[in-house]
């Protein structure tokens, strides 16, 4: 537990650096699409499962998704079994599986960055 508390600032800083890089890459992609003739967008709406995540986690992942150019968290809810999910609009994912993989990767990274039980 002590080790996980000591590594928390480093794990969080690593996440912030990764997210800043993602913001830069997606900003360049959106800007390139705006400035070039034609559109390369492949818009879609996906349902990102979050399991039994708490309110703070759902809010954090929704904010991070919305901050990323080309994506927007449309809402969050629970299904019939009580599992949480977020509805996400994605502008540039080629298919649903790649969109879900990218959003699940972001979810894993933020969970690992702030976990007090140590990195997973």
Domain ranges in the chain are: 2-114
Q: Residue 116: what pLDDT? A: 82
pLDDT at 120 over 50: no
Cα(110)–Cα(12) distance, rounded to whole angstroms?
8
Report the pLDDT averaged over residues 26-48.
92
Summarize pLDDT for 63-114 with one digit per residue, the tens: 999 999 999 999 999 999 989 999 999 999 999 999 999 999 999 999 999 8
Q: Residue 48 contacts by C-beta under 8 Å, 6 or more apart in sequence?
A: 61, 85, 86, 87, 88, 100, 103, 104, 107
For the domain 2-114, what is the CATH code? 3.30.70
pLDDT of amino acid 5: 85
pLDDT at 76: 95
Look over the chain and give the mean of its residue pLDDT values, rounded to a whole number: 91
Q: Which two tokens stand for residue 39?
A: 């559109």
pTM for the whole structure: 0.87
């Amino acid at each position: 537990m002590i080790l996980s508390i000591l590594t928390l600032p480093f794990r969080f800083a690593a996440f912030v650096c990764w997210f800043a890089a993602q913001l830069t890459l997606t900003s360049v992609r959106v800007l390139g699409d705006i400035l070039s003739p034609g559109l390369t967008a492949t818009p879609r709406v996906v349902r990102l499962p979050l399991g039994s995540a708490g309110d703070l986690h759902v809010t954090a992942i929704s904010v991070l998704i919305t901050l990323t150019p080309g994506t927007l968290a449309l809402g969050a809810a629970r299904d019939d079994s009580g599992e949480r999910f977020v509805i996400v609009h994605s502008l540039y994912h080629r298919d649903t599986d790649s969109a879900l993989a990218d959003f699940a990767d972001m979810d894993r990274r933020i969970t690992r960055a702030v976990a007090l039980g140590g990195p997973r």
